[in-house]
Structure 1
Amino acid sequence: MPDLGFLSASHDGSIRLWAQSGEVLLEMIGHTSIVYSVDAHASGLIVSGSEDRHAKIWKDGVCVQSLEHPGCVWDAKFLESGDIVTACSDGVARVWTVRDGMIADQMEIDAFDSLISQYKLSRKKVGGMKLDELPGLDALTLPGTSDGQTKVVREGDNGVAYAWNMSEQRWDKIGEVVDGPDGVGDRPILDGAQYDFVFDVDIGDGEPIRKLPYNRSDNPYDAADKWLLKENLPVAYRQQIVDFILQNSGQKDFSFNPSFRDPFTGANAYVPGQPSHAAATPAKPLYKHIPKRGVLVFDVAQYDGILKKMTEFNNTLRSDPANTDKSMTEAEVSRVGAIVKILKDTSHYHATNFADMDIALLLKVIQAWPPAMMFPAIDLVRMLVLHPHGASLLIKHVENNNDLLLDVIKKVTEDSALPANLLTTVRVLVNLFKNPSFHYWLQRHHSQILDAFSNCYSSPNKNLQLAYSTLLLNYAVLLIEKKDQEGQAQVLSAALQIAEEEGADVDSKFRSLVAIGSLV
């Protein structure tokens, strides 16, 4: 990449951008198998091809789109036009475009989709058997023979596990089965690693399906802790996740292995009802949660609720003669709807752009509207910073003498600060860590930002506590990377306040402890 360095594709599923001096500038994680090729375009986009059957498009280190293929993607290259050509193991070269006039007709698109489905069906195995060999739903008309007996049946393109409930004489659905531990070569892969199980977990509330990996040799409590932290979920779910793992992996009678060694002390595990084991030879510490690598973000939004609230507030201002001049025009309201439409379409983030006026409009609303009405616009900015082009436009408003983000921070933290404004603003700051372009700004203003929100640790609002502790955790990751010892000391002090706060939420304490562990 001119003026930056060079790219490498790796056997571990990662792509790296290197400086000519040999320093790693950026690491891109997303492929689940060997990456065979990587290429860059003058626009700044990067494309990679992998054995996981996907060509991925990257912008500013973030995967903005995945192009699925009916086989391994041996090579992927940009054409001068910005189109992408891929070479697949099925012997076909394909050209991918965002230009409307060049897109294939619907018949060809349908044929390609059918090819993908057929490939998946032919390759998919469940418990060591081919999917098309599994019985259909009619197999559930026959009663089970013992309580807890499991049966896997075919539902569309998936294998679904059921367990026999003897007391109620019915089959209870367990969930989709990706694969079992039989047949090492066919074990499911997630994030470049093979597992005995990869469960689909639906936590509801409109959240996306999460992937939960697990090996039979794992301690289910450790697996649950690690997964909850990775997925940015409350620690309160821990026992539910452990029960889910034990039920779906057939380990209902799980007990700790007496040969277990505590990773911190090297001692044996404590088993209730038995004498304590003597301390073993100290083992090399194996820390599962520290140091924290990568940042957390708040990437789920109720867009319909945000639009509804902004429209409601705008109508209130418009009907008030003293505030009519602060309300949005019909054209501006329409533009907010267009912004939301772009943000909802995450699969086309690499090809969608905002206008400068879009950022200016949201910032104007935040600056002009009364404090009690600011939070939905701030929440929209929270999601906008996760869009590559949106983030690149926003940073223009913070890299000059008129730093509008600092102005917003000052406004929301003034006397009688409202929890909704504090919550949405802290979440904006948390999401800024996702884009490397903001790292310098975040480091430069870390003291000012942490001081401004220092009282959040004792807030009765648990969501605000969690957002603040996440901000500290992200700052710990960044400042460790930047070797900023002064900044690390301030983050450590703030994290200790949360850890020592009796009324702090358990999830907030957990993240503060991860930050402390990473820093020390």
Structure 2
Amino acid sequence: GGAYTPDQGAGAQAPKKHTEVYVPHRVGALLFDSAKYEGMAAKLGEFNGALSGTPNALSDQESAALQGLFTSLQSSTGPPSGALSPEGLAVVVKMLAWPAAQLFPVLDLARMLVLNPAAAQSLTGDGAAALRTAITTAAAPPAANQLTALRFLANCASQDASQHWLLANRPEVLDMFTECSSSSNKNVRLALGNLLVNIAVMTKQAADSEGKVQCLSAAVQLLESVDTDDVEAIFRGFVAAGTAMHADAQLLELGRDMGLADKARAFASCPTAKVADCSKEILAILGA
């Protein structure tokens, strides 16, 4: 409304117009795209040795294919671009069946591979069954498994094939990983926050009402679970919640019912500017 209203304040200064900065999230997927490949390769070699004599162990041929994959990955800076060998990718799919104690470096490698279009297609296509099993295993502690799984899931937002897979598996993924909001590991909580922001964006774009509800609920659980000084997780919780609710009357009503306005008020004067600003945006869209 451009209707005239008399000045409510003592001075004639126009009120500052609220400008959306953080909600809804618009600046691309939140990714984990740097890696220490040498350490990863060494750990996979060590764990393969520990599995020697079991069906999970790699043959010499498979080990060579994996080494070739690492050579390709190390030749490009940043996220892996270009062609990656199908043989190497097949070995990664095989390793997704490794036991829980040896799983985290496999998921860490998959996290980088899923940033590549062909590898994303391979992991979520031919590798879908193995991937689902690995993700289910990794939802439980140790934290190293939860962390690498959550980072992999967040990175699924980068490519069409893996986005499609993540949306299709979203109900189970969020059911399994929302409990990580009370993890004692700060990096696990941060990775969950990134995943929730990415899922909020995808469910909003897909006009997936059920997905937005589940994402909002998970974001509220994150906000309720973390300590008040965990500003990065709190920020992501607010961004995810705000993105899920934005321009959706039903979701905004749900957010009010979940007590989001009180949570946002509690952080509106947070010394971390982005948390304070995002809290105020939440209050603005809730009309609170």
Name the counterpart of 2:210: 486
Preserved CA contact (<8 Å) 1:409 1:452: no
Question: Which of 134, 138, 147 is equivalent to 1:408?
Answer: 134
Question: Where does residue 124 of structure 1 map in the other structure?
Answer: none
Which of 79, 83, 99 matches 1:370? Answer: 99
Please state how far the C-alpha of 1:451 moved relative to its aligned partner. 0.1
CA distance in 2, matches of 1:404, 1:370: 12
CA shift in 2, pair 1:351/1:279, >3 Å: same
RMSD of the alignment, in Å? 2.4
TM-score by length of 1: 0.42
- Are 1:383 and 2:112 counterparts? yes
| 1:225-245 deviation digits (Å, cap 9, x = unpaired) | xxxxxxxxxxxxxxxxxxxxx
Contact persistence 1:354–1:389 (CA under 8 A): no
Structure 1 CA distance, aligned partners of 2:101 and 2:12?
Answer: 58
Partner residue of 1:343? 73
Give 1:280 deviation, angstroms: 4.0
- Structure 1 residues 107-161: Cα deviation after superposition (integer angstroms, max 9, x where no partner): xxxxxxxxxxxxxxxxxxxxxxxxxxxxxxxxxxxxxxxxxxxxxxxxxxxxxxx
Q: Secondary structure at the match of 1:488?
A: helix
Identical amino acids, percent of aligned pairs: 34
The AA in structure 1 aligned to 2:101 is A
Change (3 A) 1:279 1:291: farther
Q: Pairwise mapping of residues 135-214 of structure 1 onto structure 2 (< 5 A)?
A: none
1:286 to 8, 15, 19: 19
CA distance in 2, matches of 1:426, 1:278: 51
Other-structure match for 1:328: 58
* Higher helix proportion: 2
**Does the aligned pair in 1 maintain the 2:23–2:239 contact within 8 Å?**
yes
Q: Does residue 316 in structure 1 map to residue 42 in structure 2?
A: no
2:206 is the alignment partner of 1:475: no
| Distance in 2 of aligned mates of 1:333 and 1:380 | 14
| 1:475–1:282 Cα change, 3 Å | same
Q: Is the 8 A contact 2:153 2:195 kept in 1?
A: yes
Alignment correspondent of 2:256:
none
Q: Aligned partners of 1:433, 1:490: CA distance in 2, in Å?
A: 17
Matched, 1:394 2:123: yes
| RCO comparison, higher one (Cα < 8 Å, 6+) | 2
Q: How does 1:402-441 map to 2 (within 5 A)?
A: 403-413=129-139, 417-441=141-165
Deviation at 1:499, TM superposition (A): 1.5
AA paired with 1:467? A
- Report the secondary structure of 2:210's partner residue: helix
Work out the CA distance in 2 between the residues paired with 1:412 and 1:396.
20
Cα contact 2:108–2:148 (8 A) shared by 1: yes
CA gap of 1:433–1:345, structure 2 versus 1, over 3 A, is same
Q: 1:363 to 1:477 in 2, by over 3 A?
A: same
Kept in 1: contact 2:182–2:226 (CA 8 A)? no
- CA 1:451 to 1:278, structure 2 compared with 1: closer, same or farther past 3 Å? farther
Name the residue aligned to 2:279. Answer: none
**Against the structure 1 CA distance between its residues 440 and 315, is the aligned structure 2 distance closer, same or farther, given a 3 Å change threshold?**
closer
In 1, Cα distance between equivalents of 2:165 and 2:83: 25
CA displacement 1:404-462 (0-9 Å, x = unmatched): 32222222235xx3211111111111111100222332222211110011210000011
Contact 1:354/1:390 (CA < 8 Å) preserved in 2?
Answer: no
1:349, 1:388 within 8 Å by CA — same for their partners in 2? no
Change (3 A) 1:418 1:296: same
The aligned counterpart of 1:302 is: 36
Give the letter aligned to residue 58 of structure 2: M
Q: Does 1:450 align with 2:174?
A: yes
* Unpaired stretches in structure 1, ≥5 consecutive residues: 1-266, 269-276
Q: Structure 1's 330 and 445: CA in aligned 2 closer, same or farther, altered over 3 A?
A: same
Q: What is the CA-CA distance between 1:497 and the residue it aligns to? A: 1.4
CA contact (8 A) 1:458 1:503 kept: no
Name which one, 1 or 2, has greater alpha-carbon Rg. Answer: 1
Aligned residue identity for 2:20: Y
Q: CA deviation at 1:279?
A: 8.4
SS class of match (1:403): helix
Q: In structure 2, give the amino acid aligned to 1:380.
A: L
Q: Please say if residues 51 and 57 of structure 2, whose CA atoms lie closer than 8 Å, have aligned partners that are also in contact.
A: yes
The whole-number CA distance in structure 2 between the counterparts of 1:430 and 1:346 is: 21
Task: Count residues in correspondence.
Answer: 235
- Contact kept, 8 Å, 2:226 with 2:233, in 1: the verdict is no
Q: Verify: 1:513 aligned to 2:242, yes or no.
A: no
- CA distance in 1 between counterparts of 2:220 and 2:12 reads 30
The offset of 1:494, in angstroms, is 0.8
Q: Name the residue aligned to 1:255.
A: none
